Structure 1
Amino acid sequence: MMTRTYDKEQIYDTYYPKVVQYIRSHVGQQQDVEDLAQAVFIKVYGKLDLFDPEKSGISTWIYNITRNTVIDHFRTMSHHQHEELSETLKDERGDVSEKVVLEEELEELANALEKLSGAERDLIILHYYKNYTLLDIAEMMHTPYGRIKRLHAKVLLKLKQLIR
C-alpha cells in the first residue's frame, strides 16, 4: 500500500458542509451539530494515516465516521436520559435491580441498532429519537411515504428479532 498525504484544509473545506448537513438532519440543537462536526474532523485527522483508498473513497470513509459519531451521540444521550428517567422513577428505597435491567435493555437496543443498515438506523433515530413523523422522514429521504411505512414495519420486526 502506497502512503498518500492529504491536505487537511482541503478535506475540511470539501467535506465540512456535507458533514454538518448530515448531522443537522439527525440532531436538532445547533450547538450539538457544531460539537459533533468538530468531533468528526478530530477523528478524521487522527485516523487519516489509517485511511485506505483501496477499500473506499474518502467521502465514504468520512460519512462512516460521521454516522458513527451521531450514533454514539444518541447512545450517550439515551444513556443520560435513561439515568434521569431511572432517578425519576426510583422509589424511596432505590430499586437497584430495576435500574440494572433497564440498563441491560438499553445496551441490547444499542447493539441491535448497530446491526441495522444505515437507512434503517436513520429511520429509527429520526422517528423515535427526533420525533419526526414517517411522512416527514419520507420527505427528508426523498422516498415515497408507502416505502417508508413498509421499511418502518420491517425494521421494527427486525429489531424485535435482534432483541430477543
Structure 2
Amino acid sequence: MLIARDPLARRVRQAVAGDRRAFTRLYRELHPLVARFVARRVDSRADAEELVAEVFRRVVEHLGGFDPSRGSVRAWVLRIARNAVIDHYRTRKCPVALEVIADGLRETTGPLDHMIADERTRQVREILSECPEQTRQLLAMRYGDGLRHAEIAELLGLRESAVRKRISRAVSELRLRSRALEDEQNPEVSHAL
C-alpha cells in the first residue's frame, strides 16, 4: 500500500481525519516546493505569494479527494500549482505566451543572476530558447524545480522511461549545440586542441 511508504500520503490521510498538526507538517514540507515552482513561472513576488496561498487553499478544498493509487502527493500538489499558474495568466488583461508559463526557464533577476550573467549564460539561454516548449518544460522541472523523473512523468502523464530518455537526449543535444557554438566563436582554440 502506497500510504505506508509515503509519509506525505499518511499526513494527507491524517489531515482528512481532522489532525491539524498533520496538515501543518504537510504544508511545511510542501511549501518550499510549491513556492519555488510558482515563483519560476510568474512575473512578480506578490503574484507568486498570492498563487501559493491559492494553491494551498485548493489543496485544503480537495484534500479528501487525494488518491494515493493515482500518484504521489508532491505530483498532485504540483498539478494544482500548475493549474493555478495557468488560471492566473488566463485572467490577466495582458496576454502572455503559454511557453513562458510552462517552461519556468525565463530569466530572473537577483544577486546570483548578476554574478553569473556572463557570455556563457547568455549562450545557454539562447540555445534553450531555440528548444521546443516541451523540452524546456522538462528541463525546467528536472533542473529548475528539482523534480524526480517519476514526478515529472506523473505530472505530465508520461511514462518515467520516456521522461528519462527525453531529458537525456535534451541534455546531450544542448551539450553538442553548446560545443558547436563555442567552436564557431573560437575557431583558433578548437583547432589548437
TM tier, shorter chain?
A: 0.5 to 0.7
Percent identity at matched positions? 26
How far does residue 41 in structure 1 lie from its aligned partner after superposition? 0.3
1:55 — aligned with what?
70
1:122 — aligned with what?
102
1:9 — aligned with what?
24
Query: Which structure has the greater CA radius of gyration?
Result: 2
Q: Work out the CA distance in 1 between the residues paired with 2:88 and 2:26.
A: 23
Q: How does 1:18-97 map to 2 (within 5 A)?
A: 18-77=33-92, 80-81=93-94
CA RMSD, Structure 1 to Structure 2 (Å): 3.9
Q: Work out the CA distance in 1 between the residues paired with 2:54 and 2:82.
A: 12
Corresponding residue SS for 2:43? coil
Instruction: Kindly provide the CA deviation profile for residues 10-32 of structure 1, in whole angstroms up to 9, marking residues without a partner as x.
Output: 11100111111111111121111
* 8 Å CA contact 2:39, 2:48 repeated in 1: yes
121 and 38 in structure 1: CA distance in 2 versus 1, 3 angstrom threshold: closer
33 and 9 in structure 1: CA distance in 2 versus 1, 3 angstrom threshold: same
42 and 153 in structure 1: CA distance in 2 versus 1, 3 angstrom threshold: closer
Corresponding residue SS for 2:69? coil
Give the counterpart of 1:150 among 131, 145, 153.
131
Q: Work out the CA distance in 1 between the residues paired with 2:67 and 2:134.
A: 37
Amino acid at match of 1:122: A
Q: Work out the CA distance in 2 between the residues paired with 1:144 and 1:126.
A: 9
Corresponding residue SS for 1:28? coil
Can you give the 5+ residue segments of structure 2 that lack an aligned partner in the other structure?
Answer: 4-11, 16-21, 109-116, 137-193
Give TM-score scaled by structure 1 length. Answer: 0.52
Q: Work out the CA distance in 2 between the residues paired with 1:153 and 1:4.
A: 34
Q: Work out the CA distance in 2 between the residues paired with 1:60 and 1:48.
A: 14
How far does residue 154 in structure 1 lie from its aligned partner after superposition? 9.0
How far does residue 45 in structure 1 lie from its aligned partner after superposition? 0.7
* 8 Å CA contact 1:19, 1:37 repeated in 2: yes
Can you give the 5+ residue segments of structure 1 that lack an aligned partner in the other structure?
Answer: 83-105, 114-118, 156-164
Instruction: Kindly provide the CA deviation profile for residues 51-74 of structure 1, in whole angstroms up to 9, marking residues without a partner as x.
Output: 000101000000000011011001
1:101 — aligned with what?
none
The structure 1 segments of at least 4 consecutive aligned residues displaced by more than 3 Å after TM superposition are: 143-148, 152-155
Corresponding residue SS for 1:26? coil
* 8 Å CA contact 1:23, 1:70 repeated in 2: yes
Corresponding residue SS for 1:150? coil
How far does residue 146 in structure 1 lie from its aligned partner after superposition? 4.0
1:159 — aligned with what?
none
